Amino acid sequence: MAIFKGAGVAIITPMKDNLEVNYEKLDEILEEQISGQTDSIIICGTTGESATMSEEEHMKVIRFAVERVNHRIPVIAGTGSNCTATAVQMSKEAAEAGAEGILLVTPYYNKATQNGLIAHYTKVAQEAKVPAILYNVPSRTGCALQPETVAKLVKDTEYIVGIKEASGDISTVAKIMHLCDGKIDMYSGNDDQVVPLLSLGGIGVISVLSNISPTYVHDMVYKYLSGDIEGSREMQLKALPLCDALFCEVNPIPVKAAMNLLGKECGPLRAPLTEIEPQHEAVLKKAMQEFGLL
């Protein structure tokens, strides 16, 4: 059984002005997401600025989210690392804390071989013993999961159940689904490609857009899954300008700016990320206005 179907939010991490995690605001955002029909919370992923968190802080945020959500919807913890031992430890702690699943980005910087990736993911999954979603985003990590590797992991490794596909390559998605005989939970990692991935057998999205429009993304996926393909396609196309604006600078710079434009007071970004450039903020604001958010 899938950890979730529909739209999971790759949730931001709100900060105070002193750059400490703002847990009070995070609590508010979690409640807003649940009331907005988000199907899963993905905590401490790329959008959550996990790369600038200490391991202790990382786990504290995960435990907080699990406790506050309290199994109302699944919480999936981002516990990937470029160090296998670190990924194992954080994944075990997330499982012990009660996370329904883990999201495991490919080891960045090391540029592991495909055999290295198999060994890495097998070790983490066997130790954590909780459903795991692979995360393929080579533009960030410099390390791509090949379809053959994905198929081997899904077929041979207990607990590896899905993949967040953010390569942007639809042919890669199609080949993964073919080699896995469809026996993999496929999630789009790109908000502008949700419907194309659903058409190849995907079951949802791990979404940046859901931070500012959770009900819309949920409805777009469920329209498709319920057979209203035309309605889902129309929603996908309508959202494209906003999707583009949310990536006019590196994620999560624009989405955090968008949350602040909505009055959410989510605070600044941690270095080396910087605040959005004025010209890009104007583009983002216009897209949000045209989408009806402002």
Mark whether 164 is an active-site residue: yes
Q: Which two tokens stand for residue 151?
A: 């198929």
Catalytic position from the list 25, 152, 164, 256: 164
Q: Measured between alpha carbons, how far is residue 73 from residues 36, 41, 94, 184, 276 in Å?
A: 12, 7, 16, 21, 32
Q: Which two tokens stand for residue 228?
A: 């209203």
Beta-bridged to residue 136, according to DSSP, are 165
3-class DSSP assignment, residue 105: strand
Cα separation, 191 vs 236, whole angstroms: 8
Cα separation, 9 vs 210, whole angstroms: 5
Mark whether 224 is an active-site residue: no
Cα separation, 88 vs 123, whole angstroms: 7
Catalytic position from the list 121, 135, 187, 222: 135
- Which string of DSSP letters, residue by residue, matches 11-76? ----B-TTS-B-HHHHHHHHHHHHHTT-SEEEESSTTTTGGGS-HHHHHHHHHHHHHHHTTSS-EE
CB 286, CB 239: distance < 8 Å: no
Helices (H) and strands (E) in the chain, counts: 12, 8
Question: What does the buried/exposed string (b/e) look like for 207-237 if buried means 16 or more CB atoms within 10 Å of the residue's CB?
Answer: bbbbbbbbebbbbbbbbbbeeeeeebbebbe
3-class DSSP assignment, residue 167: coil
Question: Beta-carbon neighbour count of residue 242 at 10 Å?
Answer: 24
Q: Which two tokens stand for residue 98?
A: 């009660």
Please give the positions annotated as active site: 135, 164
